[in-house]
Amino acid sequence: MTAPTTTPTSQPADDWWLRAACRGSVNPDMFFPTQGRPEPERVELCQRCPVRADCLREGLDTGSKGIWGGTTERQRRKLKETIPPQR
């Protein structure tokens, strides 16, 4: 989630982001690293977030940049390769 509150282009359509652990509490650069891996603090925050699954789904569905559900863009691309298409 991306962090939904720090998403540069839009906010998710649903309201799950209101319960996000990162909501209003972090440096946006942690969620949208320009290169490399996310910071360890970021990963820890996502691991204890109550809406991690929703956030990951948003990242997968929208293809948005940044960290969503504790995953990087690269990790999500790999995940999408393993998820069978929905009918």
Q: Which of 20, 32, 64, 76 binds ligand SF4 (CB under 6 A)?
A: 20
Task: Tell me if 30 contacts ligand SF4 by CB under 6 A.
Answer: no
Part of the chain binding ligand SF4 (CB under 6 A), chosen from 7-15, 32-40, 51-59, 77-85: 51-59
Task: Tell me if 52 contacts ligand SF4 by CB under 6 A.
Answer: yes
Long-range contacts of 17-26 (CB under 8 A, 24+ apart): 17/51, 17/54, 17/55, 19/50, 19/51, 20/49, 20/51, 20/55, 21/45, 21/46, 21/48, 21/49, 21/50, 21/51, 22/46, 22/49
Size of the site for ligand SF4 (CB under 6 A): 18
Q: What 3-state class would DSSP assign to 40?
A: helix
Part of the chain binding ligand SF4 (CB under 6 A), chosen from 7-15, 33-41, 67-75, 79-87: 67-75
Instruction: Using CB under 6 A, list all residues that contact ligand SF4.
Output: 1-4, 20-22, 31, 45-46, 49, 51-52, 55, 67-70
